[in-house]
């Protein structure tokens, strides 16, 4: 996950720059991964159910690009009887229809 890696690197570098002990550096690195992952999940949820006026960005872009983010996967998990091709077709919107 890119966001988790970015947050992790920032936290780890902060600990390194402050000359922290190796166990503290590792703790900061893990903290960064967890915060970055949480932020990514939040952002994925906002992309699905947020308000464009509140976020200042176009919503639904992940779904239009065919990205199956964690909230989408959780939504479809109990619906295993759905036809996979129908789901992919539904989520793969043609860019010309925007």
Cβ atoms within 10 Å, residue 37: 17
User: What per-residue confidence (pLDDT) applies to 97?
Assistant: 43
Span 15-40, mean pLDDT? Answer: 96
Each residue of 54-92: pLDDT tens digit? 888 888 888 888 888 888 888 777 666 556 666 666 665
Q: What is the pLDDT, as a whole number, of residue 64? A: 87
Total-model pTM: 0.68
Q: Burial letters for 76-89: b for 16+ Cβ neighbours within 10 Å, e otherwise? A: eeeeeeeeeeeeee
């Amino acid at each position: 996950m890119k966001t988790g890696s970015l947050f992790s690197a920032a936290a780890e570098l902060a600990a390194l720059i402050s000359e922290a002990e190796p166990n503290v550096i590792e703790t900061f690195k893990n903290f960064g991964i967890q915060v970055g992952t949480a932020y990514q999940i939040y952002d994925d949820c906002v992309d699905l159910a947020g308000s464009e006026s509140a976020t200042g960005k176009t919503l639904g872009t992940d779904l239009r690009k065919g990205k199956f983010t964690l909230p989408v996967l959780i939504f479809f998990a109990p619906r295993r009887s759905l036809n996979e091709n129908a789901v992919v077709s539904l989520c793969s919107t043609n860019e010309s229809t925007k």
